[in-house]
Amino acid sequence: MIDKLNGRRMGMEANGSSRRQGYQWDTTSRMTNTFIANGPDKNEDIIKSIEYGLYAKKMGGGSVNPASGSFNFAVDEGYIIRNGEICEPVRGASLIGKGSDIIMDIDMVGQNLETAQGMCGASSGSIPTDVGQPLIRVSSITVGGR
Protein backbone atom coordinates (compact mmCIF):
# COMPACT_ATOMS: atom_id res chain seq x y z
CA MET A 1 0.00 0.00 0.00
CA ILE A 2 1.78 3.07 -1.21
CA ASP A 3 0.45 6.62 -1.49
CA LYS A 4 2.23 9.40 -3.43
CA LEU A 5 4.01 10.91 -0.41
CA ASN A 6 5.39 7.62 0.89
CA GLY A 7 6.10 6.49 -2.67
CA ARG A 8 8.42 9.47 -3.09
CA ARG A 9 10.07 8.69 0.25
CA MET A 10 10.60 5.03 -0.67
CA GLY A 11 11.39 5.55 -4.36
CA MET A 12 8.34 3.53 -5.41
CA GLU A 13 5.25 4.17 -7.53
CA ALA A 14 1.97 5.00 -5.80
CA ASN A 15 -0.68 2.29 -6.20
CA GLY A 16 -3.85 4.16 -5.26
CA SER A 17 -4.00 3.15 -1.60
CA SER A 18 -4.25 6.67 -0.24
CA ARG A 19 -7.50 7.29 1.64
CA ARG A 20 -8.96 9.74 4.13
CA GLN A 21 -12.17 10.27 6.10
CA GLY A 22 -12.94 13.62 4.47
CA TYR A 23 -11.42 16.63 2.77
CA GLN A 24 -10.24 18.12 6.06
CA TRP A 25 -7.96 15.12 6.71
CA ASP A 26 -4.53 14.46 5.18
CA THR A 27 -4.38 11.36 3.00
CA THR A 28 -2.24 8.38 3.90
CA SER A 29 -1.86 4.73 2.88
CA ARG A 30 -4.80 2.77 4.26
CA MET A 31 -6.20 -0.73 3.99
CA THR A 32 -9.41 -1.36 2.05
CA ASN A 33 -10.25 -5.09 1.86
CA THR A 34 -8.29 -7.54 3.99
CA PHE A 35 -9.19 -11.20 4.23
CA ILE A 36 -7.87 -14.77 4.27
CA ALA A 37 -9.35 -16.97 1.54
CA ASN A 38 -10.94 -20.35 2.23
CA GLY A 39 -8.54 -23.23 2.74
CA PRO A 40 -8.62 -27.03 2.51
CA ASP A 41 -9.43 -27.92 6.14
CA LYS A 42 -12.83 -28.89 7.52
CA ASN A 43 -13.84 -26.75 10.49
CA GLU A 44 -14.62 -29.77 12.69
CA ASP A 45 -11.14 -31.20 11.94
CA ILE A 46 -9.54 -27.94 13.05
CA ILE A 47 -11.33 -28.01 16.42
CA LYS A 48 -10.64 -31.75 16.91
CA SER A 49 -6.92 -31.17 16.29
CA ILE A 50 -6.54 -28.83 19.29
CA GLU A 51 -5.57 -30.44 22.59
CA TYR A 52 -5.80 -27.21 24.61
CA GLY A 53 -6.45 -23.73 23.26
CA LEU A 54 -8.75 -20.77 22.86
CA TYR A 55 -11.56 -20.61 20.33
CA ALA A 56 -12.01 -16.90 19.59
CA LYS A 57 -15.50 -16.95 18.09
CA LYS A 58 -16.04 -13.18 17.98
CA MET A 59 -13.36 -10.51 18.03
CA GLY A 60 -13.71 -7.01 19.44
CA GLY A 61 -11.75 -3.80 19.16
CA GLY A 62 -8.03 -3.43 19.33
CA SER A 63 -5.05 -1.62 17.96
CA VAL A 64 -2.09 -2.15 15.66
CA ASN A 65 1.23 -0.34 15.66
CA PRO A 66 1.76 0.27 11.92
CA ALA A 67 5.53 0.65 12.32
CA SER A 68 6.11 -2.70 14.05
CA GLY A 69 2.99 -4.71 13.19
CA SER A 70 2.40 -5.42 16.89
CA PHE A 71 -1.27 -5.73 17.83
CA ASN A 72 -3.71 -6.42 20.63
CA PHE A 73 -7.36 -7.33 20.10
CA ALA A 74 -10.14 -8.13 22.55
CA VAL A 75 -11.99 -11.43 22.30
CA ASP A 76 -15.70 -10.58 22.68
CA GLU A 77 -16.79 -14.24 22.66
CA GLY A 78 -14.34 -17.01 23.41
CA TYR A 79 -14.25 -20.60 24.68
CA ILE A 80 -11.63 -22.99 26.02
CA ILE A 81 -10.92 -25.98 23.78
CA ARG A 82 -9.96 -29.19 25.59
CA ASN A 83 -9.17 -32.44 23.80
CA GLY A 84 -10.83 -31.29 20.59
CA GLU A 85 -14.04 -30.13 22.28
CA ILE A 86 -15.33 -26.56 22.69
CA CYS A 87 -15.93 -26.16 26.44
CA GLU A 88 -16.66 -23.30 28.85
CA PRO A 89 -16.74 -19.63 27.86
CA VAL A 90 -13.97 -17.23 28.86
CA ARG A 91 -14.19 -13.52 29.63
CA GLY A 92 -11.65 -10.74 29.32
CA ALA A 93 -9.31 -12.49 26.88
CA SER A 94 -7.13 -10.57 24.45
CA LEU A 95 -4.83 -11.68 21.65
CA ILE A 96 -1.39 -10.12 21.48
CA GLY A 97 1.25 -10.54 18.80
CA LYS A 98 2.95 -9.30 15.68
CA GLY A 99 1.07 -9.65 12.40
CA SER A 100 3.97 -11.00 10.35
CA ASP A 101 4.66 -13.70 12.97
CA ILE A 102 1.02 -14.75 13.32
CA ILE A 103 0.55 -15.08 9.55
CA MET A 104 3.48 -17.54 9.52
CA ASP A 105 1.93 -19.49 12.44
CA ILE A 106 -1.37 -20.21 10.65
CA ASP A 107 -1.23 -23.96 10.05
CA MET A 108 -4.87 -24.82 9.25
CA VAL A 109 -7.44 -22.83 7.24
CA GLY A 110 -11.15 -23.68 7.22
CA GLN A 111 -13.80 -23.41 4.53
CA ASN A 112 -16.26 -20.87 5.97
CA LEU A 113 -15.02 -17.44 4.85
CA GLU A 114 -17.18 -14.70 6.34
CA THR A 115 -16.66 -11.00 5.74
CA ALA A 116 -17.86 -7.99 7.68
CA GLN A 117 -17.33 -4.28 7.67
CA GLY A 118 -14.91 -2.83 10.18
CA MET A 119 -13.28 0.52 10.71
CA CYS A 120 -9.66 1.51 10.28
CA GLY A 121 -8.70 4.51 12.38
CA ALA A 122 -5.49 6.47 11.83
CA SER A 123 -4.14 9.97 11.25
CA SER A 124 -6.45 10.34 8.25
CA GLY A 125 -9.61 9.62 10.25
CA SER A 126 -11.87 6.56 10.50
CA ILE A 127 -12.52 4.75 7.25
CA PRO A 128 -14.74 1.71 6.60
CA THR A 129 -12.90 -1.45 5.57
CA ASP A 130 -14.00 -4.97 4.70
CA VAL A 131 -12.35 -7.76 6.68
CA GLY A 132 -12.85 -11.48 7.00
CA GLN A 133 -11.52 -14.97 7.30
CA PRO A 134 -12.61 -18.57 7.65
CA LEU A 135 -11.86 -20.53 10.82
CA ILE A 136 -8.08 -20.67 11.19
CA ARG A 137 -5.73 -22.42 13.59
CA VAL A 138 -2.73 -20.45 14.82
CA SER A 139 -0.09 -22.75 16.31
CA SER A 140 1.11 -20.17 18.85
CA ILE A 141 -0.21 -16.80 20.06
CA THR A 142 -0.06 -14.86 23.32
CA VAL A 143 -3.39 -14.76 25.12
CA GLY A 144 -3.81 -12.14 27.82
CA GLY A 145 -6.55 -11.52 30.34
CA ARG A 146 -7.93 -13.42 33.28
Query: Mapped to the 3 state alphabet, what secondary structure does the chain carry?
Result: CCCHHHHHHHCCCCCCCEECCCCCCCCEECCCEEECCCCCCCHHHHHHCCCEEEEEEEEEEEEECCCCCEEEEEEEEEEEEECCEEEEEECCCEEEEEHHHHHHCEEEECCCCEEEEEEEEECCEEEEEEEEECCEEECCCEEECC
pLDDT for residue 131 = 83
Mean pLDDT of 33-52: 95
The average confidence (pLDDT) of the chain is 87
What is the per-residue pLDDT across 67-84, written as a single tens digit (0 to 9) for each? Answer: 788 999 999 999 999 999
- What pTM, to 2 d.p., does this model score? 0.77
**The pLDDT of residue 4 is above 80:** no
